[in-house]
Structure 1
């Protein structure tokens, strides 16, 4: 805490404020200056022996436009306004400290494109005559709890091809809005050379992925989301970088230690990538500038920081966190912790109310508490243990043996006061080699028995448990919710990006919306249940309320009842037995004579059930402070006080 405050005070002395310090991208890079009709070209490459600008404008001549080394390792030149034009391809020719001579993409370039024939990447001057005109304002502080729809734009369409920002905005956003989600999380936005990396091997940190369209197209997507009162999070990657020399920052100035740690410490062996040196002021400034850029230029409403566990510890999280020393003495990276505290401070200053989510599996205490308390300043962390638990349960136990009390304890096991984003599954489970919950439950039978008239036992079981798992997780697992695109309706196929192993096919790199739109198929029922669940959550601000309280549990019956936000939730996991007169103990603020009505029923016709409950029935609290209800087998319900 002291170290963070000392650095922030020093920055204020030297720069006036943190935002000015985090505006390095406005100084380095290629920028047109209107006031004197010139281009400024600057690049930080302290170890380089020479730097020159090459591109279409000078027929890639390495000698005609040299940069001059100035203060603090920044190379610089200024060019007349007519030298460069919009969409010109450019690179920097750098003779490095190791005498290497390479054409490199400028580090802060705001657009990088790939040649369709050679597959080489180049930077591209992006200076359109007309700036994008924003239509919608949005304040992320209006969201009391994030209900996140995790998306990948490129694979968001039905056809086996790369889809665009505008297609997503026009065709997929309305679906998300109708379901009731208030936040989207965009993956793979920062430019990355390998499509199949899911966007996590970033090469150009300031460039919006050109596969999906132009920067203006991305702005249109965000603008449309804001018009629907949907916040937009960027899945930002500051935990590592692609090791490619041709496209990325690795050995940029001919050394291995400009942006990254030198030697072995600079390698992330689990991801085959490079680790930033957060102890270096210029690196922190580069990454903070990147954070400011996405908020300022594209109006993102927050971030999901990828790979935070890898950042927090020198060992990248490859230990069992079974003692508090593991968080504070055995391996924490103080430099990375300093950077993250600076980043969350900057984000909060730029856009109060921003949602800042940490992908952390270690559970470091204070990660999601304000920096003023000695925390790191994230607003939420992903509850990463929950999907792992569901996979373990589905793989190793028959649902006849599921103990609702055990499930409850896993879901609710989190540090009070640090908000969690609960999720039953994410994109990881959807990838080839793994299985989504729907596919794990129903497997190949999904291809043959999803017709609404087909009462196949595997499908019946799968649909019932899919709904129970999602509602149980949402109610008990956190202070926010996350769903990956298509999982809400049980998308039957995994994801497999074009790669050598599948002959570069895009067949599995898509989402089949036609399945959920087909009135003859049962995907619609899972989709309808998800919509009911999300709208109920929004209406009652459930996840902004105190954590759920268990009211009663009976492991032998496989029945559990809980309360959150004054809504009563009842889960019957029993595969065979329905209970006609089950007594549920009620919370202390409920009085005998109070009446309840059904507001969610997984067994309804709309949700693909067997309609065993009367939707118009009311339930009265008896003199024993209990509610007597009929609970069908494999069903979850929600009751609201009248």
Structure 2
């Protein structure tokens, strides 16, 4: 009954290029039972145990295949949802120990740790149209506006229990569609033991967390997202794994998945182990894991977590705590090659899928194709833009006048990479305050600043990402142990922020100037740099059709700006298509545009922004405030 193993390409396995390893390892349901396969080259013996043998390792001993270090066995009459683990021994008389299956398709609800036999091929997908159009929908010239979500804490039931995947499909998807986001990004959905890790300490790399339902329930959630035209990006964590005894650590009694070198093994910042990217078996595990989510779950993109921690051997380590590479440098050569292989395989096998690097340094070529010498990601999170922008918004009105470079500097490197502008979960936890509280001043000024911040983000070149709760001005830091404070939506100010984000998403989708030329200097032009008129900035966003250009004007000061001249644009009649200070968004309705082609002026309220467009006959999609 080793037909499954017999079909495996042994040369690809030994070369670390078997990106289909999940088809051969793990538990595979067959007509008369289940075939099990696990990689444990240093083990003396391996058995599969479960209720079918009273968890007794003397039964169902596995056969070792020399050359690959893979153990296999077929167990009759083992059906779907049967619990199991692997029992391993390092020597004949050694004490046996239990491990969960690294390739398990399902796991028990924490704190239990057993794997479950599960067949993923019995789900019937209905997203053919989305899959056929995905490459076009997710092209660089199209809008990408991402709603980042931690599913267990977005919304909960009255007893504080989690919504299931299917319940989330009924509530979250209509909300995201109504808000006009194009994508949902899920914080790690793979199985994890510790709730406060938010999913970033992954235990089951091939398993959607059982907290919210079954793998088929998660398939249904993604299927429904696609049915409603919403892409799904998942956080992926190939940089490190937790040290739980039942997991990958010392899997066969030796450092199998992690480095043997103690100076390379531990990721001190998170108390986790670092994958040994030089081992073929580890490469197969991670590369096939990425392919698995694309093939089996129709995932539309990966946001790769903590890429900087993978690029540098000395990341978060002091002198003497790390081992240099063969050239004496701090570059993590094996991890760099792994990231290149990951991007190469994903883009080759699944055209249209997007990869995003959360990378906080200035490592060059992050979004340059691999065949041109880069790492191969489609996008990089623009952490520089995020840090400069939030630092600027935290300043008092007078201090802002002295720091215009916080607004202008990001455009100096804007075309060095393909960027996403992230206002993510990391910026609203650990005493960093929610977005609405980052601005100074009175309550009304804080809300005005938030409206200004969002308008600035949507106007700036780059794709957009906003963490849940920001879109209605959540007033508390995010916590994974409760839902967002949806009761705030009873207040007009919060309703106004929500409407503003929705309208910005609509604008972003239908105004080509806001997304066509993100990657080209032809799409942007500074008009005002915050110096001539302190804290007032203006720029043009351009499109293929010159008449589709937009003029963005921002007043980051606490002064009202009267009679701001549009002298440079004589001969073009403008109209206001968006005012962040509109009553509709909770503002005071101060600000606007007047005059004819020969003499035009605008006025702005404090902490506000206007978007103007050349006058022409309006299309049906331009019903903006």
TM range, normalised to the smaller chain?
A: 0.7 to 0.9
What is the SS of the residue equivalent to 2:584?
Answer: coil
Q: Could you tell me which residue of structure 1 aligns to residue 487 of structure 2? A: 514
Kindly indicate whether the alpha-carbon contact (under 8 Å) linking 1:261 and 1:275 is maintained by their aligned counterparts in 2.
Answer: no
Q: How does 1:586-625 map to 2 (within 5 A)?
A: 586=568, 592-613=570-591, 619-622=595-598
1:110 to 88, 105, 109: 105
Shift of 1:554: 3.9
CA distance in 2 between counterparts of 1:184 and 1:19 reads 32
Q: What TM-score, normalized to structure 2?
A: 0.87
Name stretches of at least 5 consecutive residues in structure 2 with no aligned partner.
1-7, 319-324, 543-548, 616-625
Indicate how the Cα distance of structure 1 residues 235 and 585 shifts in structure 2: closer, same or farther if over 3 A, else same: farther
Q: Could you tell me which residue of structure 1 aligns to residue 292 of structure 2? A: 293
Q: Could you tell me which residue of structure 1 aligns to residue 546 of structure 2? A: none
Matched, 1:567 2:544: no
**Deviations for 1:171-212, whole angstroms, at most 9, x for unmatched residues?**
112111111111111112111100110110001100111101
Q: Could you tell me which residue of structure 2 aligns to residue 427 of structure 1? A: 425
What is the SS of the residue equivalent to 2:220?
Answer: helix
Q: Could you tell me which residue of structure 2 aligns to residue 21 of structure 1? A: 18
Shift of 1:20: 8.1
Q: Could you tell me which residue of structure 1 aligns to residue 525 of structure 2? A: 549
Q: Could you tell me which residue of structure 2 aligns to residue 96 of structure 1? A: 90
Which sits farther off after the overlay, 21-30 or 379-388?
379-388
2:451 to 467, 488, 491: 467
Indicate how the Cα distance of structure 1 residues 33 and 87 shifts in structure 2: closer, same or farther if over 3 A, else same: closer
**Deviations for 1:550-583, whole angstroms, at most 9, x for unmatched residues?**
11234353211111131100001121x2222112
Kindly indicate whether the alpha-carbon contact (under 8 Å) linking 2:149 and 2:467 is maintained by their aligned counterparts in 1.
Answer: yes
Indicate how the Cα distance of structure 1 residues 60 and 603 shifts in structure 2: closer, same or farther if over 3 A, else same: same
What is the SS of the residue equivalent to 2:340?
Answer: helix
Matched, 1:526 2:493: no
Matched, 1:187 2:181: no
Shift of 1:613: 3.7
Kindly indicate whether the alpha-carbon contact (under 8 Å) linking 1:31 and 1:39 is maintained by their aligned counterparts in 2.
Answer: yes
Indicate how the Cα distance of structure 1 residues 530 and 128 shifts in structure 2: closer, same or farther if over 3 A, else same: closer
Kindly indicate whether the alpha-carbon contact (under 8 Å) linking 1:109 and 1:204 is maintained by their aligned counterparts in 2.
Answer: yes
Matched, 1:458 2:442: yes
Kindly indicate whether the alpha-carbon contact (under 8 Å) linking 1:594 and 1:641 is maintained by their aligned counterparts in 2.
Answer: yes
CA distance in 2 between counterparts of 1:581 and 1:628 reads 5
Matched, 1:583 2:565: yes
Indicate how the Cα distance of structure 1 residues 364 and 585 shifts in structure 2: closer, same or farther if over 3 A, else same: farther
CA distance in 2 between counterparts of 1:195 and 1:22 reads 30
Q: What TM-score, normalized to structure 1?
A: 0.85
Kindly indicate whether the alpha-carbon contact (under 8 Å) linking 1:256 and 1:263 is maintained by their aligned counterparts in 2.
Answer: no
CA distance in 1 between counterparts of 2:539 and 2:577 reads 15
Kindly indicate whether the alpha-carbon contact (under 8 Å) linking 2:392 and 2:407 is maintained by their aligned counterparts in 1.
Answer: no
Shift of 1:434: 2.6
1:66 to 56, 61, 64: 61
2:468 to 485, 493, 503: 485
What is the SS of the residue equivalent to 2:582?
Answer: coil
**Deviations for 1:145-167, whole angstroms, at most 9, x for unmatched residues?**
42111111111114433232222
CA distance in 2 between counterparts of 1:356 and 1:619 reads 46
Indicate how the Cα distance of structure 1 residues 467 and 410 shifts in structure 2: closer, same or farther if over 3 A, else same: farther
**Deviations for 1:413-439, whole angstroms, at most 9, x for unmatched residues?**
42525211112x310122243312213
Indicate how the Cα distance of structure 1 residues 353 and 19 shifts in structure 2: closer, same or farther if over 3 A, else same: farther
Shift of 1:15: 5.2
Shift of 1:344: 0.5
Shift of 1:531: 1.0
Kindly indicate whether the alpha-carbon contact (under 8 Å) linking 1:19 and 1:346 is maintained by their aligned counterparts in 2.
Answer: no
Q: Could you tell me which residue of structure 1 aligns to residue 338 of structure 2? A: 339
What is the SS of the residue equivalent to 2:439?
Answer: helix
CA distance in 1 between counterparts of 2:452 and 2:186 reads 27
Indicate how the Cα distance of structure 1 residues 50 and 460 shifts in structure 2: closer, same or farther if over 3 A, else same: same
Indicate how the Cα distance of structure 1 residues 332 and 19 shifts in structure 2: closer, same or farther if over 3 A, else same: closer
**Deviations for 1:361-386, whole angstroms, at most 9, x for unmatched residues?**
01211110111111111000001123
Matched, 1:54 2:49: yes
Q: Could you tell me which residue of structure 2 aligns to residue 233 of structure 1? A: 233
Shift of 1:104: 0.8
Matched, 1:45 2:40: yes
Q: How does 1:142-541 map to 2 (within 5 A)?
A: 142-143=137-138, 144-159=142-157, 160-246=160-246, 248-316=247-315, 330-395=329-394, 397-403=395-401, 405-414=404-413, 416-423=415-422, 425-441=423-439, 458-476=442-460, 478-497=461-480, 506=481, 509-516=482-489, 518=490, 520-541=491-512
CA distance in 1 between counterparts of 2:498 and 2:328 reads 46
Indicate how the Cα distance of structure 1 residues 270 and 621 shifts in structure 2: closer, same or farther if over 3 A, else same: farther
Q: What RMSD in Å do the two structures reach over aligned CA positions?
A: 2.7
Kindly indicate whether the alpha-carbon contact (under 8 Å) linking 1:112 and 1:122 is maintained by their aligned counterparts in 2.
Answer: yes
CA distance in 1 between counterparts of 2:120 and 2:525 reads 55
Shift of 1:314: 0.7
CA distance in 1 between counterparts of 2:256 and 2:150 reads 33
Indicate how the Cα distance of structure 1 residues 585 and 181 shifts in structure 2: closer, same or farther if over 3 A, else same: farther
Name stretches of at least 5 consecutive residues in structure 1 with no aligned partner.
1-10, 320-325, 443-456, 498-505
What is the SS of the residue equivalent to 2:72?
Answer: strand
CA distance in 2 between counterparts of 1:296 and 1:19 reads 19
CA distance in 1 between counterparts of 2:90 and 2:203 reads 19
Indicate how the Cα distance of structure 1 residues 569 and 48 shifts in structure 2: closer, same or farther if over 3 A, else same: same
What is the SS of the residue equivalent to 1:21?
Answer: coil
Kindly indicate whether the alpha-carbon contact (under 8 Å) linking 1:241 and 1:274 is maintained by their aligned counterparts in 2.
Answer: yes
Indicate how the Cα distance of structure 1 residues 439 and 236 shifts in structure 2: closer, same or farther if over 3 A, else same: same
